[in-house]
Amino acid sequence: MKVSIIIPTYNERDNLEELFERISNAMEKAGYDYEIIVVDDDSPDRTWEYAEELGKTRGYPVKVIRRTKEKGLSSAVIRGFKEAEGDVFVVMDADLQHPPEKIPELVREIEKGADIAIASRYVPGGGVENWYWYRKLISKGAIMIGRVALPKIRHVKDPVSGFFALRREVVEKADLNPIGFKILMEILIKGTYKKVVEVPFRFGLRKAGESKLGGKTMINYLKHVYRLMKWEGEIDRLVKFSIVGTSGIVVNEGFLWFFVSELGMDKYIANIPATELAILNNFIWNDLWTFRDLRRYPLWKRLISFHVAALMGAIVQWLIYAPLVYLGMNYLVANLIGIAASFIVRFLFNRNVTWG
Ligand SMILES: Nc1nc2c(ncn2[C@@H]2O[C@H](COP(=O)(O)OP(=O)(O)O)[C@@H](O)[C@H]2O)c(=O)[nH]1
Ligand SMILES: [Mg+2]
């Protein structure tokens, strides 16, 4: 079995020597056959040249790809997959924030039967070095958004880690988007695999050089999550869910009118059966259409869960409406914002629980 270690680089010259040395020690100690694939985007500091030189003078099994036309982290990793000869691929950064000593542990998980082994910051024993609480909060918040928006990855604690190992077959047939922002998330959505395991590790400090990522990171991340939702058909569901929701408004109003005008019911009371009928209407269409392929729990459970979502939505709607009105906002506008929040809450709850 051969391991291909894929390392995207941009201006990482000063990290290479220690990186190669530690990789080579770790792999030799564990007894794995390996190759290092450096995918460099024509770094001004000539990282590619130094990588080749280290390979020649010190005998490390390095293959260097110098890209002069393309750029970007994800596309570099995808290129690495194409060049790799191994049975197991490992992806890691060059800056030593990913300790090379973890590689054998990841590979061992693959040998034991995992298809993807992630070096994870967010399982017990893992962590990050020297991050302020707000940076942790942003990181965890971003992951949480990804996990609820993409139910397929909801069991993965660190789906955006840049340090992981996988079997070649996982990505061989996958149509990975080179402009994707987080390559692991892309693989978790589009790859062919069954078992994912996470191995704890501490995300260290950058040894030399500086970070290339930052600035628009959050926006790019959200764009990537959106593209993956689209690819997964989750955006289609969202559209269907809103169409059904709109039909519910018609049902609600229609029955309210019928109960009050035709049956002479009390206006305060009539609202209750009208709302319940709208909930039932929405449930039926969502069950038969929006989430048809996801019916796993018995009907009565789905029905109860759908009502829980409706109740939660109503509470959220009110919790947003009341303070906004109190703060002086126009009550119709406040209600609209409340409805939007309720919509998101109901969709996510139904997607992850009722039809989860
Ligand atoms: N080939 C290539 N590598 C990149 C690019 N951007 C970043 N990298 C490499 O990807 C790894 C992670 O980047 P880094 O700046 O450390 O990200 P951070 O740890 O999130 O700050 C490092 O090895 C970088 O050299 C790029 O556009 N092309
Ligand atoms: Mg880094």
Domain end, chosen from 181, 210, 232, is at 232
pLDDT score at 224: 95
Which percentage of the chain shows pLDDT scores above 70? 99
DSSP classification of residue 296: -
Q: How far is the CA of 218 from the centre of ligand 2 (A)?
A: 16
Q: Is the pLDDT of residue 25 over 80?
A: yes
Judge if 228 and 253 occupy the same domain: no
pTM score, two decimals? 0.91
Ligand 1 binding pocket mutation candidate from 19, 93, 179, 202 (most atoms within 8 A of CB): 93
Q: How far is the CA of 149 from the centre of ligand 2 (A)?
A: 26
Judge if 195 and 292 occupy the same domain: no
Judge if 135 and 213 occupy the same domain: yes
Around ligand 1, the residues with Cβ closer than 6 Å are: 8-10, 12, 39-41, 71-73, 76, 93-95, 97, 211-213
Domain end, chosen from 212, 232, 252, is at 232
- Domain residues for the domain of 349 are 234-354
Judge if 208 and 319 occupy the same domain: no
CB atoms within 10 A of CB 126: 18
pLDDT in tens, 257-312: 999 999 999 999 999 999 999 999 999 999 999 999 999 999 999 999 999 999 99
Judge if 68 and 156 occupy the same domain: yes
pLDDT in tens, 166-201: 999 999 999 999 888 899 999 999 999 999 999 999
Judge if 54 and 159 occupy the same domain: yes
In sequence order, what are the beta bridge partners of 62? 36
Q: Which atom of ligand 1 is nearest to the CA of 71?
A: 27
Q: Hey, which bits of 10-102 come out as E strands?
A: 33-40, 62-66, 88-91
Q: How far is the CA of 8 from the centre of ligand 1 (A)?
A: 6
Q: How far is the CA of 73 from the centre of ligand 1 (A)?
A: 6
Judge if 134 and 172 occupy the same domain: yes
pLDDT in tens, 51-95: 999 999 999 999 999 999 999 999 999 999 999 999 999 999 999
Residues with a beta carbon under 5 angstroms from ion ligand 2 = 93, 95, 97
Judge if 304 and 350 occupy the same domain: yes
Domain end, chosen from 214, 232, 250, is at 232
Q: Which of 98, 97, 118 is nearest to 107 (CA)?
A: 118
The CB-based long-range contact list for 140-148 (8 Å cut-off, 24+ gap) reads: 142/218, 142/221, 145/222, 145/225, 146/185, 146/221, 146/225, 148/348, 148/352
Q: Which atom of ligand 1 is nearest to the CA of 10?
A: 25
Judge if 91 and 206 occupy the same domain: yes
The mean pLDDT value for 340-348 works out to 96
Number of domains, the chain: 2
CATH code for the domain of 48: 3.90.550.10
Structure tokens given for 28: 């030799």
pLDDT score at 14: 96
Judge if 99 and 248 occupy the same domain: no
Judge if 21 and 131 occupy the same domain: yes
pLDDT score at 215: 61
Judge if 250 and 180 occupy the same domain: no
Cα distances (angstroms) measured from residue 72 to each of 8, 28, 32, 168: 9, 31, 29, 22
